[in-house]
Amino acid sequence: MRMAFEVLDEHEQGELVRKWVQSNAMSIAIGVVVGLLLIFGYQQWKARELRTLSEAAVQYSAFTEAVDAKRNEDAAKIAETLRKEYPKTAFATMTALRQAAVQVEKGDLAAASADLDWASQAAGDDAMKSLIALRQARLSLAKGEAEAALVKLDQVAKANFPAQASELRGDALAKLGRIEDARSAYAEALTHMDEQAPERAFIEMKQGGLSPAAAEPKKS
């Protein structure tokens, strides 16, 4: 009786499964098709992403070669292609950073600022955004805009480039005549540097050179 009951139970279960499959055949088929499409679509997307990155990498390599060879027109054309066709890649952002550096060397700070602004908008990585903000702050200082430099430094994440950010903050504060704040900023920079770092001596020299007499006279 027990075996007959078990066989009957298995048979009933099989019938229930068969009937459920029959009544839900369309839903199952649709689910399978959708699943396959999602898998295929994801694979296609990944392949497209890899292809885009590969193409952008080739363009960036050509750009750096043109810059190094002083082929300025070629470099500008390649940079424009990267910005238009591959704007979301890190290669486009790095191209803008390199362009900004070239413009600084040429003394065109306005063009460098425009390149950095574009890079800031395009960057998707927090570390990259912090690096760009750091360079914008340095550029602001070069233009004599200490307050603007401080605003940009506030955009640098504390975990990113702490020594460089604190040193630049000290430079900006010193330029504004905020001597004690500048001294604290330099001290903060030193805490993030190795004892053997060659940059320590330069920061210590700037810190030691601060004095109330060094403050810029305030305008009445």
At residue 111 the predicted structure's pLDDT band, cuts being 50, 70 and 90, is very high
Q: What is the pLDDT of residues 12-35, one digit of tens each?
A: 555 555 655 566 666 666 666 666
Q: Is the dihedral of CA 176, 181, 186, 189 positive or negative?
A: negative
CA distance between the termini of the chain: 108
Quick one: pLDDT at residue 145?
A: 96
Domain boundaries, the chain: 52-124, 146-212
| Torsion of Cα atoms, 190 then 156 then 106 then 85, to 10° | 140
Contact call for residues 60 and 95 (beta carbons, < 8 A): yes
Higher per-residue pLDDT: 31 or 87: 87
Q: What is the pLDDT of residues 35-61, one digit of tens each?
A: 666 665 656 656 566 777 788 888 999
Q: Is the dihedral of CA 87, 90, 95, 100 positive or negative?
A: positive
What is the model's pTM?
0.72
